[in-house]
Structure 1
Amino acid sequence: MSGPQCCENPPTLDPNSGLGRVEKFGGLDTYITGSPNSNRGILLVSDIFGYQAPNLRKLADKVAAAGFYVVVPDFFYGDPYNGVEDYGPIAVWLKNHGPLKGFEDSKPVIEALKCKGITAIGAAGMCWGAKVVVELDKTELIQAGVFLHPSFVTVDDIKDVKVPLAILGAELDHVSPPALLKQFEEVLASKPEVKSYVKIFPGVSHGWSVRYDTNDPAAVKAAEESHKEMLDWFITYVK
């Protein structure tokens, strides 16, 4: 389900980016931002390029500014995907970095949030991270989830979702094309007990929410629209 489009527009990683700090959290190196006194927590799960991507950290800071305590763990243990030169096809890298392992690693992170007094938790996943989030949705370890340009998520996954879910997709996405997201929408519509929202953003490609060119006003605008949709979802359902 992954493909070349997953690997396009890799960010220039910067371990010092963002307004927050990096420390161990739930056993993982984690970018943390936001008020430690908040009782609402958000877990952001990166795409294959990992937690040092500046645009991702900028998004975490934006969510934190809305009153959430935000954690962005390094689910890749310092080994994000670095391209074909290092790993060959992405399938080779995925053998040691599968999203189901990410899901297992997310459980201590969720527990650490609860130990801090966080009483409501949301999670958003980009690309690879969406598969982690759908597993959290199935087990009700979180109060709400958001996918942004998901990868690896199947119709069967969606059938088992138990908490409010927003899916933000791209019109020009070959990884999770609009036709697949429409199937997700149909399944969710058959589950009225689960609040859901599916939106296809026009004219954008897989990765647009975090792998955009900061010097391209149109790309920035499209990304910021997705950020607002995500944040609105969390404000509504993580409380």
Structure 2
Amino acid sequence: MADPEIATKAPESDAMEDVDTGTPLEPKPEAPAATPEVPAGAGQGEGSLFPGDTPAQTGPALGEHCVKDRPTPFGQGPTGEMSQLGGVDVYISKPNDYPHTSSKLLLFLTGATGLHSENNQIQADKYASEGFLVILPDMFSNDPLPGTPTYAEEKDVSLLDQIKMKFAETSKSFLIDMWLARQTPEKVLPIIHKVMDAAKDEFADAVASGGGIYGAGYCFGGRMILLLAGEKPDTVAWGQQQPATDEEAGIVKKGPYLKAGAIAHATLVTKDDFEGTKAPLSFVCVENDQLFPDDVKDYGDKYLKENNIENEFRVYPNVPHGFGVVGEYEEASIKVAQGQAFDQMLGWLKSH
């Protein structure tokens, strides 16, 4: 497999095409709508922290690998423990020799599969085995994506949910769009901040050892890492709406909240999310990725370089979105790319 290349000019994203079978269809009488209306723009980059922002995607908001785990590698399983920080459920994975040997604190933010995904937990364990004390929070507290392990363990499936799930069999994107419309930075960032504040007290030694908190984010979690890496108006940093004008009294900028971050195949990122970035960032990107389109990626690359923010963008060809998370693939080339992506992110975090 070809080595991933440093992105300078990535190819344009392929547009999704509808398949026309050429078979004429009989007209059907219209029926009244029987399902809730999906909010306009749901799951397509709406809910940006910045006024006037445009959606990050014109295609699907989350891919199959964002919402469904690949088979867990044979013989592997989580080695960390479930706990709570700041009243939020978390998965904690520690190096074997902690606390006898100093460790850096790593905030690990997942895709939509969330807290109880064994693959996510094993991925966190991989960083712990390399000397990081890893905190994986439940960003979607009390509102996991239906169909994920977190949902199965934490939610009682009501009759309404059963109806929704039945509908989803014929419209698979419906529940995802409805769920994703609720997972705005305004909701998610305060949860993350609670965990980070509690971790600073609980694991002050690890924070001091690294001179701050490090971050690794995959898919949905990738955008959250990007936001945490920036200096933004205080209300924005906590996930609330930015003031209407910069001249409003009392505006105080805070952040970055991370010393350095590594991001793999991010989703829902907008151009404005890069504004104010201060922490060094490494990006694992998928070639022709509709979920992190070239115009957004290229804008971010240019913005960070122009503002002298240390960064790297590496594009991996012939891999699916979500490939960087632990999971089995038949293609040996994807397994190789998994290892390369992890090495890229690990190397970046260790060197900063």
> Fold match, TM over 0.5?
yes
1:169 aligns with one of 277, 281, 285: 285
2:194 aligns with one of 83, 103, 108: 108
Q: Is the 8 A contact 1:13 1:53 kept in 2?
A: no
SS of aligned partner of 1:88: helix
Question: How do residues 127-146 of structure 1 correspond to structure 2 at under 5 angstroms?
Answer: 127-138=219-230, 139-146=255-262
TM-superposed deviation, 1:5: 6.4
Bigger CA drift: 208-217 or 225-234?
208-217
TM-score of the superposed pair, with normalisation by structure 1: 0.88
Question: How do residues 42-81 of structure 1 correspond to structure 2 at under 5 angstroms?
Answer: 42-81=106-145
- Amino acid aligned to 1:210: V
TM-superposed deviation, 1:73: 0.8
2:313 aligns with one of 195, 198, 203: 198
- Amino acid aligned to 1:151: T
Partner of 2:62: 6
- Amino acid aligned to 1:147: I
* Structure number with higher strand proportion: 1
The answer to whether residue 140 in structure 2 is matched with residue 25 in structure 1 is no
Determine the C-alpha separation between the residues in 1 that align with 2:327 and 2:70: 11
Determine the C-alpha separation between the residues in 2 that align with 1:217 and 1:229: 19
Runs of 4 or more above 6 Å deviation = none
Determine the C-alpha separation between the residues in 2 that align with 1:73 and 1:82: 18
Bigger CA drift: 74-83 or 131-140?
74-83
Partner of 1:159: 275
Q: Is the 8 A contact 1:13 1:54 kept in 2?
A: no
1:93 aligns with one of 172, 176, 179: 179
Partner of 2:336: 221
The 1:41/1:79 distance shift into structure 2, 3 A limit, reads: same
User: Could you say which structure has the greater relative contact order, defined with CA pairs below 8 angstroms and 6 or more residues apart?
Assistant: 2
Q: Is the 8 A contact 1:167 1:199 kept in 2?
A: yes
Q: Is the 8 A contact 2:103 2:131 kept in 1?
A: no
SS of aligned partner of 2:322: coil
Q: How many residues matched? A: 235
Question: How do residues 207-218 of structure 1 correspond to structure 2 at under 5 angstroms?
Answer: 207-210=322-325, 212-218=327-333
TM-superposed deviation, 1:180: 2.4
Q: Cα deviation per residue 1:192-229 (whole Å; 9 max; x = unaligned)?
A: 1x211111111122211116425543222211211111
* Structure number with higher helix proportion: 1
Q: Cα deviation per residue 1:32-51 (whole Å; 9 max; x = unaligned)?
A: 10145244100111111112
Percent identity of paired positions between Structure 1 and Structure 2: 27
Bigger CA drift: 17-26 or 75-84?
75-84
- Aligned CA RMSD, in angstroms, stands at 2.4
Q: Of the two, which has the highest radius of gyration?
A: 2
SS of aligned partner of 2:278: coil
Determine the C-alpha separation between the residues in 2 that align with 1:229 and 1:66: 13
Q: Is the 8 A contact 2:61 2:267 kept in 1?
A: no
The answer to whether residue 209 in structure 2 is matched with residue 123 in structure 1 is no
The 1:205/1:13 distance shift into structure 2, 3 A limit, reads: closer
TM-score of the superposed pair, with normalisation by structure 2: 0.61
Partner of 2:346: 231
SS of aligned partner of 2:229: helix
SS of aligned partner of 2:135: strand
Determine the C-alpha separation between the residues in 2 that align with 1:204 and 1:13: 16
- Amino acid aligned to 2:122: K
Q: Which runs of 5+ in 1 are unaligned?
A: none
Bigger CA drift: 52-61 or 5-14?
5-14
